[in-house]
Chain A
């Protein structure tokens, strides 16, 4: 079906003006991150910086904002959470999908219930428990509440249900144990689902503010959102160049990953439509 030129141009005009709004903060962030301070506060409003000050701004974000430390913390927390999530969720999901055992219905019911309980609900008792155990302000406290992922269990269960039983039976006849089947047969087959879930998990925990804000007090453990907050508060003089450089550094890893693996990201998001 050929569409007329006018509707097409109109569609582009609407989409482009929307895209300008969507992208404006990113453009402004990058422009300001290379803008010298005198221009940020200057009376004249020129979009493109007159002098390149990216070096000093990013250096300041790295040295005074301690961005590398913060981002390393973010990576440790995200990968730690993801590893334990997969370790627990994959076998449980396989059992839910393919094995008969007492309590299967109960477990699945709990998974469904857990889907509607966000971190803000158990946060208070968990905080008290960590305080009692002297574990506040540790990597463990940052990660532990998310070791359980009912969402991952649900997602993987749906995936494993479509896995052919004949293959499993053949593997059993070959003498494979269930443990081996889970990790050497089912897991490789589930890689697309695992990739989608990993995207979802890492994005969620790199960006999470609520729980880190509660359990972390020392700057050595700050995750990226906390690092940005702290840097903004110390830069009360309003060194926007360095602050925007810090924001750019913190958002860069996920955005680059998204640009490189666009399909995987979009699929991850549609699959994980139920958050």
Chain B
């Protein structure tokens, strides 16, 4: 009886899992194996002969100026976005959480950019930032900054993209922080009040901030990964320019792989990208684990 049931469970489990296994094999494992193999060759699309080059591509990446610059730009972009994404998201969430009837309005207002198609909104931003026609440029002129072309100035373009990235991600983080805030038990605040923490900053430092710790870590890592993968705004707004100031990792990877078709080299670049993402994800997984234990 028992073994018959186990057999049945076994059969059903295998039958349900096999299609998923097949998809994982076809869409994840086989491509990854191919990627590793390609990264060791000089394969180019349409090439007749393929030669093994070993680790040459990886070595070349270290001296490739474009790749190095894209790494620098990507990290710089992350550094620009991250503080605002985390602390801005937290600040907005704290203020919105304390609202009554107006809470829904603010939630919608801050969250709207998250659902909006980024490519479409980037074209809107392009128009808003247009040096002669855009309202932002008009505003900057009125404030006495003179004529600034934010997207065509090499020293400002990346920061401008970062601001747009921040605009898109802050509502997402607000929602995560709001969920974290509503999970904090009320009596903790009462207990803290009995301990003398009556003023808002005291309450924040002694209850809210420690209790939000796991959420904050989670938001930090998630925002890092999102910012790391910046691509859409680069394609729409700058195409890596001016003077390579906004060449980011994914954009350079896209160019190498799908515009220049230097497949082997792009494969090596992808492997490097994967290493970064796996490291970030391990960090994220540890954070999630902690979050679960906390709750």
Contacts and interface: CB of A to CB of B under 8 A. Distances in A.
Contacts of A228: 117, 119-120, 123
B206 interface: no
B280 interface: yes
A117 B133 CA distance: 41
A190 interface: no
Nearest to A124: B257
Interface stretch (B23-31, B67-75, B151-159): B23-31
A254 B109 contact: no
Interface string B256-280: 0110000100110010011001101
B205 interface: no
A15 interface: yes
B286 to A, nearest CB: 12
Contact of A125 (B24, B30, B284): B30
B121 interface: yes
A189 interface: no
Nearest to B284: A274
A254 B117 contact: yes
A73 to B, nearest CB: 14
Interface residues of A, number: 95
Contact of A32 (B127, B176, B250, B281): B127
B96 A116 contact: no
Given A102-B14, A122-B31, A259 B108 contact: yes
Contacts of A135: none
B120 A251 contact: yes
B138 A240 contact: no
Given A12-B102, A240-B127, A273-B176, A92 B263 contact: no
Interface stretch (B49-57, B58-66, B225-233): B225-233
A125 B6 contact: no
Interface string A255-275: 101110010011001100111
B295 to A, nearest CB: 13
27 contacts: A11-B98, A15-B106, A22-B171, A25-B121, A25-B124, A25-B125, A26-B116, A92-B19, A95-B13, A95-B17, A101-B14, A114-B24, A116-B280, A120-B229, A121-B35, A122-B31, A123-B270, A124-B257, A124-B266, A125-B31, A178-B8, A203-B115, A232-B236, A243-B123, A251-B117, A258-B112, A270-B179
A126 to B, nearest CB: 6
B208 interface: no
Nearest to A3: B98
B235 A45 contact: no
B222 A121 contact: no
B10 A102 contact: yes
A270 B176 contact: yes
A23 B112 contact: yes
B interface residue count range (under 10 / 10 to 19 / 20 to 34 / 35 or more): 35 or more
A72 interface: no
Interface of A: 3, 7, 11-12, 14-15, 18-19, 21-26, 28-29, 32, 40-41, 45, 88-89, 91-92, 94-96, 99-104, 107, 110, 112, 114-118, 120-129, 131, 144-145, 147-148, 150, 153, 172, 177-179, 182, 203, 206-207, 209-210, 213-214, 224-225, 228-229, 232, 240, 243-244, 246-247, 250-251, 254-255, 257-259, 262, 265-266, 269-270, 273-275
A25 B135 CA distance: 10
A153 B258 CA distance: 30
B207 interface: no
Given A117-B274, A210-B254, A99 B116 contact: no
Contacts of A269: 111, 114, 172, 175-176
Contacts of B115: 203, 254-255, 257-258, 265
B267 A247 contact: no
Nearest to A112: B285
Contacts of A11: 95, 98-99
